[in-house]
Amino acid sequence: MAVLEQGRRFDDEDLQKASQSMRDLFWMPALGLKGLFTQRFFKHVNIVGGVGVGGGSLVYAAVLLEPKQAFYRDPAWADLGIDWEADLRPHYATASQMLGRTTCPVTHLQDGWLEQTAAAMDVRESYGPVQLGIYFGPEEETPDPYFGGEGPPRQGCILCGACLAACAHNAKNTLDKNYLYLAEKKGALIFPQHKAALVRPIGGGYQVEMVHPLDKSQTYAPLTAPRVVLAAGVLGTLELLFRSRESGALGNLLPMLGKRVRTNSEAITAVLSKDETIDLSKGPAISSDFHANEYTHVTQNRVPPSYWFMKLYACPLVDGIKPLRRALKTLVMFIVHPLESTASLRVRGNWHKRVTLISTMQNLDNQIAFSWGRGPFSGFGVGLQSQMAGGGRAPVYIREANLAARTFARVSGGIPHNSSIENLMNMSVTAHILGGCTIGANAERGVIDTSHQVFGYPGLYVVDGSAIPANVGVNPSLTITALAERAMSLLPARRG
């Protein structure tokens, strides 16, 4: 078995640099940046993610939550003849075990303020600690606590708040410490800096062409396999399939490719503490949450020093669903209340210690789509282009998000902010893009069947967030893993 990854392996020193320096954090090959955090702008959405051996798990907040029942009953996949809630239950259990899921055992100032926010919004009973994929054992190195000694030694969380930029202290349960680590022990080969460029059917299997993502002069011989599993994240998987379709290698892929893409209906707000001496960075990135109503989930977020660039997006908190009017109100607020409106922009050095990011997600339906062509957001070269699709548009303004930020600011004595990407550019922001290669009953309704196999291409599978046809409504890492566990359980066992 071979695993291809366009990024590189990162050691603890690399990860420490990524948590401290934006230059070491970002993956932007065109600018010579070779980190692990990606940020890509499209017309309708700004998408962040991770690159490296371990993929998005390197920069995820280690949150492992199960969705509410509405996810399983969503019309997008409720009529496929499968009781998804019952069918996925054992796979959630396996994913939880593999990812070391545990209840966050610590609280800090942010958590107290979030609890007060939930109480002020009359939903105190929904507040609580989140489930995390973090080892909270002794801080000194200890033998593998998860896999009977088969896994790597680990160290307990030191509560540094750097989960979003990668954990340099061997505490966060990233894929290179569980699935990939164990796979390598069993003989799997991992090829860093090998980007899959094209997939084509050949002799009852598939040939995968690869390129070096940073050095075009370096070439690789293609690999062949009877089965190929695509798990490059929504953008990576879509790019590979579109490129393969347009080249004719996978010419029978039908028009549902790139359709029904969702952002998990989320918004990012922030609250800046007025206390210049405070330190809110102690703890896991996310440690507590609440539900504002039956379809709205709210969490707090701590950020590491390398995330200082996010303060450049800070703008006044402004309500309104009409984009132009909201943009004008934002500009007026800058003029009428210049000190408060620019408070985050003027902080030097310790912004990450004073800020609380608030993530708000909903399981309400929304859709955009991706096509393949030329446009300004691909540098006028050929690439993915976002476009409007059927259903509600991916939200740019969420009323509950602004209410939570305003309430949190009131109970903490801070200053609430929206993102200028949302207010001024009318662009949603997400770390949880879903869909584009969704499960469907047939090729007219999806890209893959209920076994995750691409319609018309036996042995070609899509097993990542792009397969999910409905909004999860919470951080989707556990659900993506559970679906992957289910898909792999359906594969026939290899002889020997």
Q: What is the pLDDT of residues 321-374, one digit of tens each?
A: 999 999 999 999 999 999 999 999 999 989 999 999 999 999 888 889 999 999
pLDDT at 392: 64
Report, as an integer, the average pLDDT of 77-96: 96
Using the predicted structure, report yes or no on whether residue 253 has a pLDDT greater than 70. Answer: yes
Which pLDDT score is estimated for 366? 84
- The strand pair at 195-202 and 205-211 is best described as antiparallel
3 state SS of 348: coil
Confidence of residue 30 (pLDDT cuts 50, 70, 90): confident
Residue-wise over 27-39: b if at least 16 C-beta within 10 A, else e? beeeeeebbbbbe
pTM of the complete model: 0.95
pLDDT of residue 241 exceeding 90: yes
- 323 token code pair: 């984009």
Closest C-alpha to 158, from 140, 133, 143: 140
**What distance in Å separates the CA atoms of residue 268 and residue 273, rounded to the nearest whole number?**
17
Contact of 27 with 192, CB cutoff 8 Å: no
Q: What is the pLDDT of residue 264?
A: 81
* Structure confidence at residue 166 (pLDDT): 87
pLDDT at 495: 64
Residue range 60-78: mean pLDDT, rounded: 94
Inter-residue contact 100 to 462 (CB < 8 Å): no
Provide the pLDDT for residue 307. Answer: 95
Q: What is the pLDDT of residues 411-440, one digit of tens each?
A: 999 999 999 999 999 998 888 999 999 999
- Distance, CA of 12 to CA of 169 (rounded, Å): 7
Q: Is 432 a catalytic residue?
A: yes
Q: Which of 169, 417, 432, 452 is catalytic?
A: 432
Q: Which domains does the chain have, with CATH numbers?
A: 2-489 (3.50.50.60)
Average per-residue pLDDT for the chain: 94
- Nearest-angstrom CA–CA distance, 228 and 237: 12
**Residue 496: its pLDDT value, please?**
54
Summarize the confidence of residues 473-484 as an average pLDDT: 96
Segment 118-151, tens digit of pLDDT: 999 999 999 999 999 999 999 999 999 999 999 9
Three-state SS for 445-477 is: CCCECCCCEECCCCCEEECCHHHCCCCCCCCCH
